[in-house]
Structures are given as structure tokens and as C-alpha cells.
Copies of this chain bind each other. A is one copy, B any other.
Amino acid sequence: MATTEATLEAPEQALAPEHVPHDKLVIMAWSGDLDKIWPTFILGTTGAAMGMETTIFFTFWGLFPLVRNDVHITGENWMQKMMSMMNRGGTEHLKLGKMNFVGAGPAMMKKLAEEHHVASPAELLEVARDLGVHLVPCQMTMDLLGLTKEDLIEGLEEPAGATSALLEARDAVTLFI
């Protein structure tokens, strides 16, 4: 009986069992490198502009670009402080994952992007917020690194964990970047 009802309600499923396209996009932004943050924000803002409900979970190194550019050192104990010193946060302090050349690589990359009218990470972050992209920091990473809400930029959603990320991912295009 249930079968008949289902058939009446949704006959097209039996006729052409097409996969229903996802209208959600979930990015797990693990890397904080300039060359990974760029695709993260470009894909995130593009998805949102296309009408996909878009969520970016920032975890591990991916949390550093969300640190306010005017915050120098974060953390409560010496280990956390040392890690923040070695890897200063903020969109203005991103490094390339390869060919960094003590900062020359990112400078060149940014110059090239400017010349070709490709938005900077800081601009794309702004666009993402304007387009309603959900920007969610990972609670566990914040605890590990001793990051507080005050250390992070405005406009983020409540910190969440792996369970929230996977719940969102269940019916979304999901990228681990």
C-alpha cells in the first residue's frame, strides 16, 4: 500500500530516478594558506550568488584568517601564544602553501590578482558576509588555540563542531579544502 501511495505522490522517481541536485554548499576550510583561502572564498561566494545555501566551517589552520587583522598574539598559555606568533592570523597575513619565498610569493600573487581584478581574500570575506554565507568557526580549534570570540572578526555565527558540520553536509555539495 505504502508503495502505491509513494508512486502516486512521486511517480517521476520510479520513472526516471534522477539524482536531485544539491542546493546547498558546505566547505570545510581546514587550510589557512592564501592559495587555499582564495578558492574557499571564491567557491563560497559563487555558490551563494548562484542561490545555494552556503556554509563555511573554519577549522584548524583555517581559523587563522578569521582573526582580526589588528590582533597580534592570541592564546592563554605560552604554547598557544607561540603558535599565534609563528602563524599570525588575519586576512592581511596569509602565506602561500608553496612558493612562499619569505613573503615574495604572496605579494606577487596579490599584485597579479589586483591587475586581473580578482578580489582579495579580505574583499571576498566581505562579499561572503553580504551574500549571507554562514561563516562558522570550529569550537574545538578555538579551545585548542585559546582563541576567544573577541579575537575573531565580526559577522561570524556561533562556534560549532564536527556534528553540526556533518549534519549540514548530509544534503550538500561538500568540499574539504
Contact = CB atoms under 8 A, between A and B. Distances in A.
Which of A15, A108, A177 has the most chain B CB within a 10 Å cutoff?
A15
Nearest to A117: B143
Interface size bucket, A side?
35 or more
Contacts of A50: 163, 166-167
User: Among the interface residues A87, A143, A173, which one has the most CB atoms of the partner chain B within 10 A?
Assistant: A173
Interface centre among A14, A24, A50 (most CB of B within 10 A): A14
A171 interface: yes
A153 interface: no
A102 interface: no
Interface string A62-103: 000000000000000001101100110000000000110000
What's the dominant secondary structure at chain A's contact region?
A: helix
Interface of A: 2-3, 6-7, 9-25, 28, 30, 35-36, 38-39, 42-43, 46-47, 50, 52, 59-61, 79-80, 82-83, 86-87, 98-99, 108-109, 111-113, 116, 118, 140, 143-145, 161-163, 165-167, 169-171, 173-177
